[in-house]
Amino acid sequence: MNAQSLEARFADGCEQALNEAVALYGQPLLRYCHHILCNYHDAQDAVQTTFIKAYDNHKRFQPGTSLSAWLYRIAYTTCVDMLRRRKLQLMSPPPAAVDPDYIGEDVRRALNTLTPEQRALVYSRVIEQRSFDALAVIYGKPAATLRKRYERARKKLAQALAGTPAERRKPDEQSHTG
Amino acid sequence: MSNLTPDEQRIRNALEQIETPMYDILSAVHAQRACRRAPLRLRSPQRLLAAALVGALLTVTAAAAVVQLSGGWQVLFGQDVVLPEDLAVPLQQAQTIDSCTLTLEDAIVSQNDVGIIYSLQQADGTPFPEPVDLEEVSLLIDGADRSTSSQGQTLFTDENAAKQYVYYEFELDSDPGGHTLTLSAGPAFRTELSDTLTTAIDLSAIFRTHPLRLRADEDAAALYAQQDAAGAHLPQFGALPAVSMGGVAVDDTGLRLALCTPCESAAHTLSADIVSVLDTRTGKSIPNDGSSYCEANGQTVGIRESRFLGLREEDLPFLLPQIIYTYREPVTSRAWTIDFTAASLPACNRQIDLSLPDGLQVDRLLLSPLGLELEGSQPPADDIPPAPEVQVILRDGTTLHTGSEFTGTSGSDNSNRECFTIQYYYQSDRQGRQFLSTPDVTAVRIGSTTITIAE
């Protein structure tokens, strides 16, 4: 039974496959969720929920397709869902002072000019350096569509970051930005 | 790897200032599967202590809201769980294999699904040194596997009682009432994972010994043997069978790195994955885009191949493979099988025709003592539509809120709509998990529409 790929064993509901998937993709997904949610502890919840959703629905995963892409897709929808719920609840803002978010105020402000999808695309492209073909698998949209959306997001974020203290702290990089 | 534009480099510099601390996700996932209704982070010792105390509180709270069943319900779902009398059937059937005892504690059996709690403990009563996992858990009806797409499971180790409780839900395609039900679970094993180990392998040197430039769909497993990777030394994991570098290939989509591992089907299994490559130019790890395993019949080794989309031959001199080893140790030699029978509780499976905002169309409502499920379709989503709010109205006038469990969508290859399934669980007024008797439900409110279930 274990002579199968991780994908096949995950689709079979093997517990070990869940553990392996967490070891393989857990931290990258946590970083991904952190960038979308801009809140570290929400990101912890999101990544936990992602693996639980994925495992509970292992029979819906098709072996032969990318487990990584499937997990990223679930993580993305989980984050969007959490943000929507946060918005709907209209509760008092979370006590940010208690739990640090590990994001500087200037970068947070810039990221908040983007939609969750734009943050996800920028992170996937700029930090993970995924190709648009790979992103098409994750987001279920044509690569060309994602390229256009990414370009818009990139311009918007670059504008928002221009002149921020985060930028000014990086004179070396600024000198060759043209 | 594509070069970044100046704009992108500036963005990258800014985003790299965001620190995402490491976090024990595996423990948290297992704990959340236990408590599953509210994400539980393992960052606070107080919360861990609180979870452990739940077990100790059982004897105090059991009489209030829960009939005298397995203590596992409260260990798993917290002391606010609501489980009406006569819903769960106490079973308490134990079987010991290789000094490990599985006890099928209780079951809720409905016409549509079955929820069970079982526990695992060492026969001598001592705690497990590590949590154990089961290779497979299934519920057979008269010897046949009739479970359909949906399975839920939770797990929690109650260290004080040296017991590991597991809750499982099986959605079935036929009424199990009165039939012989068989819980088949196991064999049990435990898993040990290494840290992520960075190697100092010269990938370009291996590639140069016999360059493998392939098509994206070309199988490289048999070709790696033509490369000379003998000089590549990997860090090993304890005194376990050796893993060696298998080879390096490039194709139209990116880079492939392979390991030769001991046969993963062996009883004591060591597997290894190149989970990422460290790019020495940036100091950043690039995670793989998937890995696969294959072995030829009769061989004692297999090939574990990881793919990295977008990486190219020119990147090889700057990449160091990063490996995680997984060691799987058997705890029992075979599975437990325990038979039981129970009458089934009523469930409700109803076709409905309900249009909701965002183009959601609900076609089916399934109501059982464990929870409810909506099935339907939606337009291909640019954005994910929110799960509809669902409330359940009981005979006594109580309105229960629900929490949605998962919004799964199937592909939209051959139509302009995607199918979805949303599972909901019932929430008590104290936000705990609630189980209920379906005949107690008079109506279900989906969004602003009320669907009458019983007059």
Considering only residues B161 and A4, tell me which one the structure prediction assigns the higher pLDDT: A4
Of chain B residues 174-193, which have a CB less than 8 A from chain A? 189, 191, 193
Q: What is the largest CA-CA distance in chain A?
A: 57
Q: How far is CA B79 from the centre of its chain?
A: 24
Nearest to A24 among B43, B275, B406 (CB): B275
Whether residue B18 and residue A103 make contact (CB cut-off 8 A), yes or no, is yes
pLDDT 10s digits, A121-144: 999 999 888 888 888 888 877 777
Q: Are B396 and B370 in contact (CB under 8 A)?
A: no
Mutate to test the interface with A, among B1, B5, B23, B318 (most CBs of A within 10 A): B23
The structure tokens 């499976």 sit at B349
- Residue A89, Cβ density class (10 Å: 0-12 exposed, 13-18 middle, ≥19 buried): exposed
Nearest to A102 among B20, B151, B284 (CB): B20
pLDDT of residue B81: 85
The answer to whether A25 faces chain B, any CB pair under 8 Å, is yes
Classify strands B213-214 and B244-251 as parallel, antiparallel or unpaired.
parallel
Q: Domain A1-102 belongs to what architecture?
A: Orthogonal Bundle (1.10)
Mutate to test the interface with A, among B10, B184, B306, B422 (most CBs of A within 10 A): B10
d(CA B426, CA A40): 29
Total residue length of chain B: 455
pLDDT of residue B341: 96
- Min Cα distance B134 → chain A (Å) is 7
d(CA A142, CA A15): 34
Total beta-carbon pairs less than 8 A apart between chain A and chain B: 224
User: Nearest-CA residue of chain B relative to A105?
Assistant: B18
**Partners of B147 in the beta sheet?**
B172
Q: Are B137 and B118 in contact (CB under 8 A)?
A: no
| A104-170: CATH class | mainly alpha
The answer to whether B267 faces chain A, any CB pair under 8 Å, is no
pLDDT of residue B351: 92
Q: Among residues A141, A83, A91, A140, which one has the least CA distance to residue A115?
A: A83
- Residue B207, Cβ density class (10 Å: 0-12 exposed, 13-18 middle, ≥19 buried): buried
Whether residue B383 and residue A7 make contact (CB cut-off 8 A), yes or no, is no
Q: Which long-range contacts (CB under 8 A, 24 or more apart) does B283-288 make?
A: B284/A127, B285/B196, B285/B322, B286/A128, B286/A129, B286/B1, B286/B311, B286/B319, B287/A24, B287/A25, B287/A28, B287/A68, B287/A128, B288/A24, B288/A68
pLDDT by residue, tens only, chain B of 455 residues: 446 788 888 898 889 888 888 878 888 887 766 544 333 333 222 223 333 333 333 333 333 444 467 888 887 777 788 998 889 999 999 999 999 999 999 999 999 999 999 999 888 888 777 777 787 788 899 988 776 644 555 555 555 557 888 888 888 888 999 999 999 998 988 777 777 789 999 999 999 999 999 987 788 888 998 999 888 888 877 766 678 899 999 998 899 999 988 776 555 577 788 888 999 998 888 877 777 777 665 667 788 888 888 899 999 999 999 988 877 788 999 999 999 999 999 999 999 999 988 788 899 999 999 999 898 888 766 555 677 889 999 999 999 988 776 555 554 444 567 777 788 889 887 777 899 999 999 999 998 999 998 75
Q: Are B308 and B286 in contact (CB under 8 A)?
A: yes
Q: Are B349 and B174 in contact (CB under 8 A)?
A: no
pLDDT of residue B65: 43
Return the SS3 of B375: strand
The answer to whether A159 faces chain B, any CB pair under 8 Å, is no
Of chain A residues 64-93, which have a CB less than 8 A from chain B? 66-69, 77, 80-81, 84, 88
Prediction ipTM score: 0.82
For chain A, the structural domain boundaries read 1-102, 104-170
Q: Among residues B82, B121, B83, B89, which one has the least CA distance to residue B102?
A: B121
Classify strands B336-340 and B89-97 as parallel, antiparallel or unpaired.
unpaired
The answer to whether B39 faces chain A, any CB pair under 8 Å, is yes
pTM, full prediction = 0.58
